[in-house]
Amino acid sequence: MFFNEDFETLPREAIRALQLKRLKSLVARVYSNVPFYRQSLDKAGITPDSIKSLEDLQRIPFTYKQDMRDSYPYNLFAAPMEDIVRIHASSGTTGKPTVVGYTKHDIETWSELMARSFAAAGVHKGDIIHNSYGYGLFTGGLGAHYGAERLGASVIPMSGGNTKKQIMIMQDFGSTVLTCTPSYSLFMAEAAKEDGIDFRDLKLRVGIFGAEPWSEEMRGDIESKLNLSAVDIYGLSEIMGPGVAIECHEAKKGLHIWEDHFIAEIINPETGAVLGEGELGELVITTITKEGIPLLRYRTRDITSISYEPCVCGRTHARIARMSGRSDDMLIIRGVNVFPSQIETVLMGVDGVEPHYLLIVDRKGNLDTLEVQVEVNEKLFSDEIKHLQALSGKIEKQIKEMLGVTCHVRLVEPKSIARSEGKAKRVIDKRKG
Amino acid sequence: MHVEQISVFIENKFGRLAEVTRTLGDAGVNIRTLSLADTSDFGILRLIVNDTERAKTVLKEKGFTVSKTEVVAVEIPDRPGGLADVLQALDADGINVEYMYAFVERSEENAVMIFRFDETEKAISTLTGKNFTVLPGDRLYSM
């Protein structure tokens, strides 16, 4: 089911024509309204008139998260403050938060794209959307909220936390759709089970999970424990919030990125060169319709690939692959690139292993070490040491085979790895700081 | 003829063993005997208690991973070669001992050993067939 069929099924040539038209107008707008962009475009020898084709985009300099920090709070805004109706910000865990402003029109666009995303996930009017993304400065809660209302579904503005109450509300209100981070969905299922509540008895049908990378194996686990169809949603506050891209429930193979509003490129994170279809690299997004804080070639740090292959759902918008990690989350262990999601894939392939794990990277002498902490539940536990050692040895061997990295698997007590109501913390890198 | 043993997964972390024993003590569970097998990362605490079900429940409530296993308690004549005789009898029938530990109380003139076999039933019939005394759980819990 489509929310805006005309745009969602635009022929590719029409998408490209629209993108070019909007790109030209964007460059003209930021050139005259944002001193940062005027300077960077001047430096690159680009004037608004020099954008003749979509390929010209590749000559435009990148925008980095640091540029947003340096512009804290409002210096990248392209619209006057009197037109800004909403301000969000990133969590700022790695420095000053990045601040984003939305005009009324931006909020409308966001709501529409989020409504399109819900529809693509198989959500419709009459659904009861249990929204456990955090409300506040974080874009997740309000982004999903406005999209749900635009779609015409009923939305329960739960926000994160207070898990027991979340479960009670889901039971009593008959929620049919759950939106939260994938790790929180499993945390809720675990908490429910402890209280003797089986998620399979709830009315949930669709789960829309994002805000952190997760694996195909984790999808399988979530779908069986929560008895729903789980789709991956992508977004980031710098670009808009949730709803930049989403999987359709028909294919669940890559996330459609709404190309009438965003131009997506995949680049080599080291060289900045634009990569071809199917090649793995960093996602770069240009926001071609945003008014409050439009961005040219924003470096998302998210690692993915892009495909223009037609999709069974009928949408013509390109698909980006499930995020394999962030270029800044990528661990380099003894020279090998490792994403936490790859280790997750191995762990979830071992029968009985819980999706709660922690990677501890350290350096002993000149050698990097990787410890993988895995919780022992009743299914894995044995009264014989040799069985537990065989289990940890098996995981170590599989990680070595898949990633070429030697690690030490440490079996830990259940619940000893911190649970998160937001984004899960998967890595402690003791080599830093 | 079986004896119920509970096994608890314990990380090699300060205070965990104390936590298990305190939990059992507070619940009025009496430990009859125990053994701890450990590696550098974790240990498995094996316990025979006077109330297995209660011990399991209270430990689970505290978040421990607990399992129940059937073990065999055998009277060992308290003289040189007593244990060797028992092991030899088992060996003759090709029965493998997974692990074993001593029970703290004596049974009349005999020592008591706890055995974990891979083939429990076969082990019991071998032992009783060779006139060794296998003690029932009830006897041990209240000894």
The interface residues of chain B toward chain A in range 100-139, judged by CB-CB distance below 8 A, are 116
| Interface contact flag, A382 B10, Cβ < 8 Å | no
Chain A contacts in chain B segment 6-35 (CB below 8 A): 7, 9-11, 16
- A25 vs A187, residue with greater confidence: A25
Strands in A255-257's sheet, in edge-to-edge order, are A154-157, A128-131, A177-180, A206-210, A229-236, A241-247, A255-257, A319-320, A306-307
pLDDT tier for residue A97 given thresholds of 50, 70 and 90: confident
Residue A72 makes CB contacts below 8 A (sequence gap 6+) with A96, A97, A98, A99
Whether residue A388 and residue B7 make contact (CB cut-off 8 A), yes or no, is no
The token pair that represents A391 in the structure block: 């289990």
Which residues lie closer than 8 Å to A318 by C-beta, 6 or more apart? A256, A257, A259, A264, A306, A307, A308
Contacting residues of B for A413, CB less than 8 Å apart: 9-11, 16, 63-65
Q: Which of A238, A240, A239, A187 is nearest to A209 (CA)?
A: A187
Q: How far is A385 from chain B (nearest CA, A)?
A: 7
pLDDT digit string, tens, across residues A286-308: 999 999 999 999 999 999 999 99
Q: Strand, coil or helix: what is A67?
A: helix
- pTM of the shown model: 0.74
Mean pLDDT of the region B87-110: 91
User: For residue range A232-286, what is the model confidence (pLDDT) as tens digits?
Assistant: 999 999 999 999 999 999 999 999 999 999 999 999 988 999 999 999 999 999 9
Measure Cα distances from A329 to A67, A426, B99 in Å: 20, 10, 44
Q: C-alpha distances in angstroms, A272 versus A59, A265, A284, A287?
A: 11, 10, 10, 18
Q: Does A194 touch chain B (CB under 8 A)?
A: no
Selecting from A378, A381, A385 the residue whose C-beta is nearest the C-beta of B37 gives A385
Please name the member of A385, A412, A416 whose beta carbon is closest to the beta carbon of B44.
A385
pLDDT tens digits, residue range B108-130? 889 999 999 989 999 999 999 99
Which of residues 124 through 143 in chain A touch B, CB cutoff 8 A?
none
Partner residue facing A378 (CB), from B10, B46, B65:
B65
A385 to B46: CB separation less than 8 angstroms, yes or no: no
Q: How many CB pairs under 8 A join A and B?
A: 53
Average pLDDT, chain A: 93
Confidence band of A45 (pLDDT split at 50, 70, 90) = very high
Asked whether the beta carbons of A298 and A192 are under 8 A apart, the reply is no
Higher-scoring residue by pLDDT: A331, A47: A47
Q: Hunting for tokens 């977004």 — which residue is that?
A: A235
The per-residue pLDDT for range A65-83, each reduced to its tens digit, is 889 989 999 999 999 999 9
Query: Smallest CA–CA separation between B84 and chain A, in Å?
Result: 23
What's A237-278 look like in SS3?
Answer: CCCCEEEEEEECCCCCCCEEECCCCEEEEEECCCCCCECCCC
Q: Give CA–CA dist B134/B103, Å, rounded.
A: 13
Residue A418 pLDDT class (50, 70, 90 cuts): confident
Q: Measure the CA–CA gap between A306 and A279, rounded to whole angstroms.
A: 7
Predicted pLDDT of residue A342: 85
For A410, nearest residue in chain B (alpha carbons): B41
Give the nearest chain A residue to B6 (CA atoms).
A383
Inter-residue contact A150 to A119 (CB < 8 Å): no
Q: Is the pLDDT of residue A432 over 70?
A: no
For B18-76, write each residue's pLDDT tens digit.
999 999 999 999 999 999 998 989 999 999 999 999 999 999 999 999 999 999 999 99
Burial class (CB in 10 A: 0-12, 13-18, 19+), B95: buried
Q: What per-residue confidence (pLDDT) applies to A339?
A: 83
Q: Considering only CB atoms, which chain A residues are within 8 Å of B63?
A: 413-415
**Closest residue in chain A to residue B38, using alpha carbons only:** A385
A358 CB neighbours in chain B (<8 A) are none
Fill in the amino acid letter for B43.
Answer: G
Cβ contact B42–A378 (<8 Å): no
pLDDT the model gives residue A3: 97
Confidence of residue A173 (pLDDT cuts 50, 70, 90): very high
A389 phi and psi, to 5 degrees?
Answer: -65, -35
pLDDT at A335 over 80: no
pLDDT digits 0-9 by tens, A354-401:
878 999 999 887 788 999 999 998 889 999 999 999 999 999 999 998
By Cβ distance, the residue of B7, B41, B64 closest to A383 is B7
Letter string b/e over residues A236-255, b meaning 16 or more CB atoms within 10 A of that residue's CB = bbbbbbbbbbbbbbeebebb
Nearest to A117 by CA among A177, A184, A187, A199: A177
> What band does A309 get if pLDDT is binned at 50, 70 and 90?
very high
Tell me which range, A206-220, A336-350, B52-66, is most confidently predicted by mean pLDDT.
B52-66
Q: Is A85 on the interface with B (CB under 8 A)?
A: no
A204 pLDDT above the threshold of 90: yes
Identify the pLDDT of residue B76. Answer: 93
- Distance from C-alpha of A251 to C-alpha of A314, rounded to nearest angstrom: 10
Q: Which DSSP symbol is given to A58?
A: G
Question: What does the pLDDT look like over A122-158, one tens digit per residue?
Answer: 999 999 999 999 999 999 999 999 999 999 999 999 9
Closest in A376, A389, A392 to B9, CB measured: A376
d(CA B135, CA A217): 48
Name the residue of chain B whose CA is nearest to A195's CA: B61
CB contact under 8 A, A381 and B7: yes
CA distances from A80 to A76, A145, A167 (A): 11, 26, 43
Average pLDDT over residues A1-22: 96
- State how far the Cα of A192 lies from the Cα of A126, in Å rounded to an integer: 25
Alpha-carbon B119 to chain mean position = 16
B96 and chain A in contact, CB less than 8 A? no
Q: How far apart are CA A422 and CA A102, in angstroms?
A: 24
Name residue, tokens 């076999």.
B117
> What is A86-132 written as a DSSP string?
EEEE---TTSSPPEEEEEHHHHHHHHHHHHHHHHHTT--TT-EEEE-
Judging contacts by C-beta atoms under 8 Å, the chain B residues touching residue A194 are none
DSSP 3-state assignment of B83? helix
Beta bridge partners of A36: none
Q: Does the pLDDT of residue B79 top 60, yes or no?
A: yes
For residue A101, which of A131, A71, A64 has the smallest C-alpha distance? A71
Residue range B95-113: mean pLDDT, rounded: 90
Which residues on adjacent β-strands are paired with residue A408? A371
Q: Are strands A206-210 and A229-236 parallel, antiparallel or unpaired?
A: parallel
Query: Six-digit token pair at A424?
Result: 């899960």
CB A84 within 8 A of CB A77: yes
Contact B37 A382 (CB under 8 A): no
Q: Where are the alpha helices (DSSP H) in A295-421?
A: 340-348, 385-403
